[in-house]
Amino acid sequence: MSAKPGSSKASKALYIVTCPEALSELVVSKQRLDERTLSLAVSQTVDIVETEKTLREFGFEQVDYVYEPGQFAVRESRNTRIKMGTMAYGNR
């Protein structure tokens, strides 16, 4: 390793120590992404029970109010809405 060209701090090199597994887990394979994708569209009718089950299988947590990524809430009304993070999806 060498310091950045033109740097006056050539004696203070930065080293990062990690393992290949730690680097590769940041990258999701296309197959894994395809397996864990739930596509919804405006005006699409879906089975709410199956949708909730899928979200739980994907690792989402069902809560009363969504405060952070990884959570979802179901609002029962004439048109059921599922709120995930800052985006709302629903069947109308």
Instruction: Give the pLDDT band of residue 92 (cuts 50, 70, 90).
Output: very low
Q: What's the distance, CA 87 to chain centroid?
A: 12
Average pLDDT over residues 16-42: 79
Answer for the pair 60, 73: CB distance below 8 angstroms, yes or no: no
- In whole angstroms, what is the distance from residue 20 CA to residue 81 CA? 41
Instruction: Give the pLDDT band of residue 53 (cuts 50, 70, 90).
Output: very high
pTM higher than the cut 0.85: no
Look at residues 44, 45, 52 and name the one whose alpha carbon lies nearest to residue 73.
Answer: 52
